[in-house]
Amino acid sequence: MRPGFLFPLSTSLLLASRLSGQAAPPSALPERFAAFTAVTGFEQAVVDTLLGGLLPGATRDRSGSAVLVLGSGAPRRLIACPLDEPGWVVGGVGPDGYLTLRRAPGRLPSPLFDQQLEGHRVTLYGRRGPVAGVVGVRSIHLTRGRESGPDQPFGVDDARVDVGAAGARQVGALGVGVLTPVSLTKKPLRYGSDLLASPAAGRRVACAALVLAAVEARPRAGTVVVAFVTEQNLSQRGLRTVRHTQGPFAEERMVDGAAGVPGLPRESAEGWALPAAFGTTAVETVSLAGADSLRARLARWIEGAP
């Protein structure tokens, strides 16, 4: 238990529970965020959750980002956290019910990113809700000695997803089709004294820290725009839209996980990162004590404290 972490967390969750009519347990927000999935171009379910009570007063801008304006007047400052993550989409549906995959547009964190698909559970976000699936592996008994060249790393073109359907019609009945977004199944794991593991945990928990800071703090002078931006890994559309519609800004900060996607545009935005171990893997791990430290730093920045 970390006293500095639990007070603002319980405060924000109490406010959210009043708005939604549901009780929320203390210390749940980082783990809840770590379970979110927002494949680039498909961030709106997460934005809906933010606007549904977690970030009172926020609105959705024309790029789909969640934007909260605190205070008024000058100076005008921006702090933003990216919502999206690398992932896949359904590329085709076979007559036998198996699915092929393609990468979602955007930068990859590693050239071997697709390897973690092999033999793993995935979740498909279909029109009728999430659908569980597994990515098959080749039988070593049937393939041994049959390959003409050296083994190649597993790639997205090798993936065959089984959703338990006997044919294409059953796949369609599940609400799944071409371009349905796909991610590794997320079941955040708490371990050790304060560690949390999940795909993209650094970025997710950093955004949770910013939510807590935004609920807790108010600027002593001027305006602070808090933005949870979309399509950062692709074209930076969310960040560019906020700059165009809410700026110009005297100061900008970008919050992210230390294992975030390479090439995140900084331009005039200085970055704050939450350190993550085993970055860009299925077990990317962050410290909740580190998240609390980041939350406190963000709150001080929002307030304008020296």
Report the CATH number that the domain containing residue 260 is assigned in CATH.
3.40.630.10
Closest CA to 38 of 207, 196, 215, 288: 207
Closest CA to 243 of 260, 227, 261: 227
CA 244 and chain centroid, separation: 24
Give the global pTM: 0.84
> pLDDT, tens digit, for every residue of 34-90?
999 999 999 999 999 999 999 999 999 999 999 999 999 999 999 999 999 999 999
18 part of a folded domain: yes
Please name the amino acid found at residue 282: A
State the Cα torsion 286-287-288-290 to the nearest 10°.
Answer: -110
Same domain, yes or no, for 107 and 226?
no
The span from the CA of 180 to the CA of 278, in Å, is 28
Please state whether 305 falls in left (phi above 0), alpha (psi between -120 and 50) or beta.
Answer: beta
Q: How many domains does the chain have?
A: 2
Helices and strands, counts by H and E, the chain: 8, 15
149 part of a folded domain: no
> pLDDT, tens digit, for every residue of 175-232?
999 999 999 999 999 999 999 999 999 999 999 999 999 999 999 999 999 999 999 9
Domain extent, residue 25, equals 3-84+188-303
Q: Are 99 and 109 in contact (CB under 8 A)?
A: no
Closest CA to 87 of 70, 109, 63, 59: 109
The span from the CA of 246 to the CA of 56, in Å, is 18
Q: Cβ atoms within 10 A of the Cβ of 25, count?
A: 12
Report CA torsion sign: 259, 264, 268, 269.
negative
Same domain, yes or no, for 30 and 119?
no
277 part of a folded domain: yes
* Structure-block tokens of residue 100: 């092929």
